[in-house]
A and B are shown apart, each in its own frame.
Chain A
Amino acid sequence: GESVGLHLPTLSVQEGDNSIINCAYSNSASDYFIWYKQESGKGPQFIIDIRSNMDKRQGQRVTVLLNKTVKHLSLQIAATQPGDSAVYFCAENLTGNQFYFGTGTSLTVIP
């Protein structure tokens, strides 16, 4: 699979602050990206997705930004809460049914 890397393996934020998690991808042909949240002992949970014909997509408290020029993806979480503590993965979808995961960032929210 293609390399999908994250810049920071760990991130600690104060409750109420905004969090930004970054991801770099290497395959310029990738056309669909997903952010997943994985809590301890559980499977990855879908957060938000974005297609390559968009550069921004918003959900509830989350925003994903896509910069195709530098092949960079970010996840912004507004007003971070203790329940947001988890590992966050970006996943890159290549042709057909191939989802490849990046390294992951462990987010810790400090009360």
Chain B
Amino acid sequence: DTEVTQTPKHLVMGMTNKKSLKCEQHMGHRAMYWYKQKAKKPPELMFVYSYEKLSINESVPSRFSPECPNSSLLNLHLHALQPEDSALYLCASSQDGGRAGNTEAFFGQGTRLTVV
């Protein structure tokens, strides 16, 4: 199984809503990532988890709150978002580069988020 599964595929939310994006992988990867991708732009790194601990936060606003409940799951909690946060949110996983050596990151298909 080389899949990273993201749910939901599409999400429309109001600026006062609270929602969560979910990501799951069963490849035994211990590094997991959230990226944000705007149209016609490259993915931008948001958060990195290594062994279920947050290791990198790329100065992301606090209205985005990541969570890693276990080694297979990664969530992104959303609250009080702005219309400019509308984007494709991508989850990825890889072997942990610090211990296993750098290997490719596998990406999910993303959640298309629209904030209204």
B68: interface (CB < 8 Å): no
> Count the A-B residue pairs with Cβ separation under 8 angstroms: how many?
64
Question: Do A96 and B98 have beta carbons less than 8 Å apart?
Answer: yes
Q: Which residues on B sit within 8 Å (CB–CB) of A45?
A: 107
Write the nearest CB–CB distance from B31 to chain A, whole angstroms: 4
Question: Do A49 and B104 have beta carbons less than 8 Å apart?
Answer: yes
Knowing A1-B58, A31-B102, A49-B104, the reply to whether A44 touches B43 (Cβ < 8 A) is: yes
Among residues of A, the one whose C-beta sits closest to the C-beta of B94 is A97
A residues contacting the other copy or chain, number (CB 8 A): 26
Question: Do B94 and A101 have beta carbons less than 8 Å apart?
Answer: no
Question: Do A97 and B106 have beta carbons less than 8 Å apart?
Answer: no
B residues contacting the other copy or chain, number (CB 8 A): 28
A42: interface (CB < 8 Å): yes
Tell me the complex Cα distance, A15–B58, Å.
40
B109: interface (CB < 8 Å): yes
Write the nearest CB–CB distance from B3 to chain A, whole angstroms: 10
Knowing A97-B33, A99-B33, the reply to whether A46 touches B42 (Cβ < 8 A) is: no
Knowing A43-B107, A45-B107, A49-B104, the reply to whether A89 touches B42 (Cβ < 8 A) is: yes
- 10 further A-B pairs in the complex, CB-CB below 8 A; given A43-B110, A44-B90: A34-B104, A42-B109, A89-B43, A97-B56, A97-B94, A97-B98, A99-B105, A101-B42, A102-B42, A104-B42
B-binding residues in A (CB < 8 A): 1, 31-32, 34, 36, 41-46, 49, 51, 89, 91, 93, 95-104
Q: Name 8 interchain pairs, CB-CB below 8 A, sorted by A.
A: A36-B107, A44-B90, A89-B43, A91-B105, A96-B55, A97-B56, A97-B98, A104-B41
